[in-house]
């Protein structure tokens, strides 16, 4: 690491803290995936970026791919390029499945937005469980998940049962089981909680839901690309997630959906479109869905955006999801260590599980003035993180782009602001 690459300290450090900073720099020098940061557009003059759980950084290879797609595939190939573009949704889906999702081929496709995909899958699941009247979810689940489930319940005359799980630990098999019975049709949960970062026991929850005869739908937005996801091995039925966070697909990039192969023939998603139709260019009457995962497509794929998802996924595959997870745990451990020493005495509370196997790649802090502290961090140009109501400060530590020194300096900067109490002015 060159001196120009080392971020400036926000203030003078006492000798003991200076030694801690040297330890963080040593961790960066010994980081086996430290090389990956150079594969992204990261400038030494930029603030510390700890918001990868909202929007991932731009891979350099995506810029080259965009140029080639614009100039050659679109510019020269024009409509003839659809010969290859047609296969992008399934091809990139299989790439995600193999490298990041633990899903065999033919079960994942890239299409639409997360909300649309969750709606497709939830609706198909409810149709597959006729006579059952209850949908179960987490009251703290991401809002769009709750909203679309609420809409489906209202439209179909069903019951939406929202469960209050422990805030920091999130859903668990033993906590969920009492709310399941023969009336349960669908359980929809997030694999990693968007606020606390709590990581759910996917396999254990799948077992208790299947024992009740219901289907499971997982939101993977805060886990895909940050940690290994074993969809096939865990017995997951359905899943969907976005690609603009840890997958670095770009703002508003399309989502993906997963349907276990055994379920595909019996499920019919509600948004019928020509890209899910047998012999789509025959333009015939009547809808007849194709076999396999293609039946969960609707309209024309977002070619440019899917190409960006492909580049982000290829880069993560090159780095290796196990290596990414190992560094992610070390990054969050380092921040929690600094939290205990510097921030806990300043009325901050840790709202993320202490057990590294129970959390994703983010740390959440509670503070009465979290919104003002977050604003000051961003406006002063030192740290980019984000705020979630009512009093949460979230720090997303994307392993390919976040350095240990970033984590150390960010924690020190938060300490400085809280000590100076400028957020109260």
219 is catalytic: yes
Residue tagged active-site, from 49, 142, 275, 404: 142
DSSP class of 191: S
256 is catalytic: no
DSSP class of 196: T
What CA–CA distance (Å, rounded) separates 1 from 88?
A: 38
Contact residues for 355 (Cβ-Cβ < 8 A; gap 6+): none
Contact residues for 222 (Cβ-Cβ < 8 A; gap 6+): 53, 190, 191, 192, 193, 194, 197, 245, 246, 360, 362
Task: Please name which of 394, 334, 387, 386 lies closest in space to residue 26, comparing C-alpha atoms.
Answer: 334
- DSSP assignment of 302-362 equals -HHHHHHHHHHHHHHHHH-HHHHHHHHHHHHHHHHHHIIIIIGGGT-EE-S-SSGGGB-SE
244 is catalytic: yes
Dihedrals phi, psi of 258, to nearest 5 degrees: -125, 135
What CA–CA distance (Å, rounded) separates 160 from 149?
A: 7
Task: Please name which of 169, 356, 357, 149 lies closest in space to residue 240, comparing C-alpha atoms.
Answer: 149
Task: Please name which of 407, 248, 325 lies closest in space to residue 32, comparing C-alpha atoms.
Answer: 325
142 is catalytic: yes
Token representation of residue 89: 């949704």
C-beta of residue 328 within 8 angstroms of C-beta of residue 397: yes
Task: Please name which of 242, 244, 202, 213 lies closest in space to residue 102, comparing C-alpha atoms.
Answer: 202
C-beta of residue 254 within 8 angstroms of C-beta of residue 110: yes
Residue tagged active-site, from 244, 246, 296, 348: 244
What CA–CA distance (Å, rounded) separates 304 from 208?
A: 40
Residue tagged active-site, from 394, 403, 413, 415: 394
Q: In 171-245, where do the E strands start and end?
A: 184-190, 215-219, 238-241
Residue tagged active-site, from 37, 65, 120, 245: 245
387 is catalytic: no
Q: Which long-range contacts (CB under 8 A, 24 or more apart) does 262-265 make?
A: 263/128, 263/215, 263/237, 263/238, 264/107, 264/291, 264/292, 264/293, 264/295, 265/291
Q: In 125-179, where do the E strands start and end?
A: 134-138, 159-163
Residue tagged active-site, from 219, 386, 406, 409: 219
The residues assigned a catalytic role are 142, 219, 244-245, 394
């Amino acid at each position: 690491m060159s001196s120009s690459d080392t971020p400036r300290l926000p203030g003078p450090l006492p000798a003991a803290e200076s030694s801690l900073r040297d330890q963080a720099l040593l961790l960066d020098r010994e980081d086996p995936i430290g090389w990956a940061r150079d594969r992204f557009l990261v400038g030494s003059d930029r603030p510390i970026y700890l918001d990868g759980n909202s929007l991932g950084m731009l891979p350099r290879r995506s810029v080259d791919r965009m140029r080639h797609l614009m100039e050659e595939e679109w510019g020269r190939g024009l409509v003839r390029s659809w010969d290859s573009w047609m296969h992008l949704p399934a091809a990139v889906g299989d790439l995600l499945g193999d490298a990041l999702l633990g899903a065999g081929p033919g079960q994942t496709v890239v299409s639409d937005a997360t909300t649309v995909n969750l709606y497709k899958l939830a609706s198909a699941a409810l149709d597959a469980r006729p006579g059952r009247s209850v949908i179960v979810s987490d009251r703290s689940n991401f809002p769009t998940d709750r909203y679309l489930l609420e809409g489906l319940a209202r439209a179909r005359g069903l019951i939406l049962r929202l469960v209050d799980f422990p805030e920091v630990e999130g859903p668990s098999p033993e906590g969920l089981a009492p709310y399941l019975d023969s009336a349960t049709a669908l359980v929809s949960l997030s694999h990693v909680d968007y606020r606390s970062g709590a990581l759910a026991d996917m396999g254990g929850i799948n077992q208790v839901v299947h024992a009740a005869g219901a289907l499971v739908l997982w939101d993977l937005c805060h886990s895909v690309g940050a940690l290994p996801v074993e969809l096939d091995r865990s017995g997951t039925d359905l899943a969907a997630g976005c690609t603009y966070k840890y997958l670095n697909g770009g703002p508003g990039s399309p989502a993906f959906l997963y349907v276990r192969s055994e379920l595909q023939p019996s499920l019919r998603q509600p948004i019928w479109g020509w890209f899910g139709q047998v012999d789509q260019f025959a333009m015939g009457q009547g809808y007849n869905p194709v076999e396999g995962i293609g039946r969960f497509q609707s309209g024309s794929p977002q070619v440019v955006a899917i190409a960006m998802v492909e580049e982000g996924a290829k880069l993560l595959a090159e780095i290796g999801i196990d290596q990414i997870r190992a560094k992610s745990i070390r990054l969050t451990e380092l921040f929690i260590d600094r939290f205990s020493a510097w921030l806990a005495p300043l009325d901050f509370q840790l709202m993320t599980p202490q057990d590294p196997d129970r959390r994703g790649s983010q740390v959440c802090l509670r503070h009465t003035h979290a919104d003002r502290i977050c604003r000051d961090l961003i406006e002063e140009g030192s740290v980019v993180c984000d705020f979630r109501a009512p009093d949460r400060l979230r720090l997303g530590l994307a392993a390919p782009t976040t350095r240990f020194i970033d984590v150390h300096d960010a924690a020190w900067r938060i300490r400085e602001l809280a000590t100076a109490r400028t957020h109260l002015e």
